[in-house]
Structure 1
Amino acid sequence: MTRRVTIHDVAEAAGVSVATVSKAVNGRYGVAPETMARVMHHVDALGYESSLVASSMRSRRTGVIGVLVADFEPFSAEVLKGVGRALAETPYDLLAYSGSHRDGAGWERRSLSRLSGTLIDGAIMVTPTIVNVTSDVPIVAIDPHTGRADLPTVESDSFGGAQQAVRHLVELGHRRIGFIAGRPDLRSATARDAGYRAALAEAGIALDPALVGVGRYEGDIARDAALRMLSLEDPPTAIFAANDLSALSIIDVAQERGFSVPHDLSVVGFDDVPEASRAAVPLSTVRQPMQRLGAVATELVLALLGGETPDQTHIRLPTRLVARATTAPPR
């Protein structure tokens, strides 16, 4: 059995006192920025998890389930609704926590270190940035990382959903179909990319690298990719975006450049966030059950807290195409 990394190990590796490590991992004052950075580097490198509970077998419960999100954007907001509803009939409360994700990979580990054993009984990580994590509390990942799946996970059928989106465009008569991909370290993004390519191959359409960009699930980055794609001498007649935020950015860019949606450009997103149906031109998209993702992840965490062994620890939920006003046959 691998020995648990201690605070003394981190202090020795970083060349500081145990007290300094304690201040750094708990976000307290009195640590110089360069020292903080050095300590947190060794915390992540060694996989240290702090806890104010002396024993790994906790003597009390907090009655709180924590949800760690990178940002409170439409996807995570819908997931949180599902978690909240699943907890409504239980004695547990919900704590939504957004860590310092812009500090780089591993922000969840630092967040769990602060929360585990003192504030939460279990945790749900939404679109995590880390591959492996250990904690004193049960953890479930929603939209997991591409790395080794050593955590229980809940995700949507991204591959099948992407296939549905591209098949819809092919059936409308499109042959130049662009794709703006998601965050490449998430399984959802790699699956949507694979689904796009599989649907093109199925239709006998050769992949054109000029029609593939990366949006990382972020509207601003997707906007840049769309601008490049729509500036081509032979632009696409349709674009499939890996999420709705990217799709809505594509529509903005298209309209700024004089493209009419859907007559000059068809656009399909993925998620079906509330903004998709409320847009000026309602967005065609692939609906994934975002609230259900949160509810199922909550059920898993509660089962683990109860000492149960769930029948499934890697769950994939179905998706379906919702055709609205942003898709039509090409001119």
Structure 2
Amino acid sequence: MMTHGRIRMEDVARRAGVSVATVSKVVNGRYGVAASTTTRVHEVIAELGYETNLGARALRSSRTGILGVLVAEFEPFSTQLLKGVSSAMATSDYELLAFAGAIHGETVGWERRSLRRLGGTLVDGAIIVTPTVIEPGAAVPVVAIDPHTGNGDVPTVDSDNVGGARTAIEHLISLGHTRIGMIRGREDLESARLREKGFRQAMAAAGIEVDETLLATGSYRAESAVTPARLLLDRRDRPTAIFAANDLMGIRTVEVARSRGLRVPEDVSVIGFDNVPESALAQPALTTVAQPLAELGRTALDMLLTLLAGQNLEQTHVRLDTTLVERASTAPPTTDSASPA
């Protein structure tokens, strides 16, 4: 009689008419089992949906065949990276485990706790997305994508944040904007600092003095842009364009502008950073600087597989280019775009 719940090795053995030891040999790829018996056991495994226990597999072989992608939470940026990793997994022998480590509000150190839980027991290696802390000496090989604190002793892959921000501001300047505001990311984040650096570089190169009162700070979360956007847009001398340090804040800035009776881009232009799918669906569609999100994921996976194969990386810190994606949220300033609403 078949048991309810999880299918056990004993259930497979009973249905296939063989011993548990024989099923174990088949599952673990050991010799000494006739081809016809092996075929029969695999048929029963597929029929019953039997899955080996990952923890037990790790104890037997020191490998689980699983790679982890650790994210703080599943939001648009990390989801697109995950898609890139997943698409590249098709050419490897590994399976993928996605794990959200900061879903209970932990903002710093979540990746350390997550690695302790998963490393060496459930995963053979890990890709950590936007870690707040990256430390050498983890139980398994680790590659970090866009670490909050910059490059360390752990292999990393990120995008050209400085160059991308320069591109965003150069685009606005080319349209005729000189009074440009910025909604920054959290000041403790490396990518936020680099994007502000690119903003300042582009303004200086164009001979435009930065008005420090037009710089406000968010946290990359959409709701964090509401107060900064209001502060900038409610001014009588509001900026004619705003650079939001990521798309989620850019989209929310557009919404705040519209709630103030302002038209985008006629009254104020808005540009973001990332090119998450939501940016193309916004009303109006958001002009942005595209990070190659899927390629970031694929590159991180290639680096991790190289480490797992016991090989040295050609580059331990890889930086990918960004590109401008022009949409409907930016346009030349109108003669009255900086006047009070």
TM-score range, shorter chain: 0.7 to 0.9
1:258 aligned partner, one-letter code: G
Work out the CA distance in 2 between the residues paired with 1:151 and 1:79: 19
Match of 1:35 in 2: none
Partners of 1:229 and 1:235 within 8 A in 2: yes
Report the counterpart of residue 152 of structure 2 in structure 1.
149
Instruction: State which of 86, 90, 93 in structure 1 corresponds to 2:92.
Output: 90
**1:105-146 Cα shifts (integer Å, max 9, x gaps):** 111101100001110011111111114353110111101122
> Does the Cα contact within 8 Å between 1:75 and 1:273 map onto a contact in 2?
yes
Describe the SS at the equivalent of 1:315.
Answer: strand
Q: Confirm or deny: 8 A CA contact 1:236 1:265 kept in the other structure.
A: yes
Whether contact under 8 Å (1:246, 1:269) holds in the other structure is yes
1:220 pairs with one of 202, 220, 223: 223
Name the counterpart of 1:274.
277
Structure showing greater Rg: 2
Q: Secondary structure at the match of 1:293?
A: helix
Say if 1:136 and 1:280 are closer, same or farther in 2 by CA, change over 3 A: same
Residue 178 of structure 1 aligns to a residue whose secondary structure is strand
SS in 1 for 2:183: strand
Q: Distance in 1 between matches of 2:161 and 2:107?
A: 25
Answer whether contact 1:262 1:325 (CA < 8 A) is retained: yes
> Number of paired residues?
278
Change over 3 Å in CA distance of 1:202–1:62 after alignment to 2: same
**1:294 corresponding residue in structure 2:** 297
Q: Distance in 1 between matches of 2:79 and 2:151?
A: 26
Letter in 2 for 1:82: G
Which position in structure 2 is the counterpart of 1:229? Answer: 232
Superposed displacement of residue 64, structure 1: 0.8
Amino acid at match of 1:121: D
The CA distance in 2 between the partners of 1:320 and 1:89, in whole Å, is 28
Unpaired segments ≥5 residues, structure 1:
1-51
User: Once the 2 structures are TM-superposed, how far is the Cα of residue 148 of structure 1 from its aligned partner?
Assistant: 5.5
Q: Report if aligned partners of 1:266, 1:328 keep a CA contact under 8 Å in 2.
A: yes
Aligned-partner residue type, residue 295 of structure 1: R
Structure 2 residue matching 1:75: 3-state secondary structure? helix
Q: Which residue of 2 aligns with 1:39?
A: none
Counterpart residue number, 2:16 = none
**How big is the shift at 1:59?**
5.0
> Residue by residue, what CA displacement relative to the aligned partner does 1:164-215 show, whole Å, maximum 9, x if unpaired?
1000100111111011112333322111110001011111111111111112
Equivalence for 1:36: none
Unaligned runs of 5+ in 2: 1-54, 335-341
TM-score after normalising by structure 1: 0.81
Matched-pair identity in %: 54
Query: Under a length normalisation based on structure 2, what TM-score does the superposition of the two structures give?
Result: 0.78
Q: Name the structure 2 match of 1:185.
A: 188
Distance 1:212 1:267 in 2: 14
Q: Which one is further off, 205-214 or 119-128?
A: 205-214
Q: Which residue of 2 aligns with 1:67?
A: 69
CA RMSD in angstroms, aligned pairs only = 1.9
Query: Does the CA-based 8 Å contact 1:109-1:133 persist in structure 2?
Result: no
Instruction: Indicate the residue corresponding to 2:10 in structure 1.
Output: none
SS in 1 for 2:251: helix
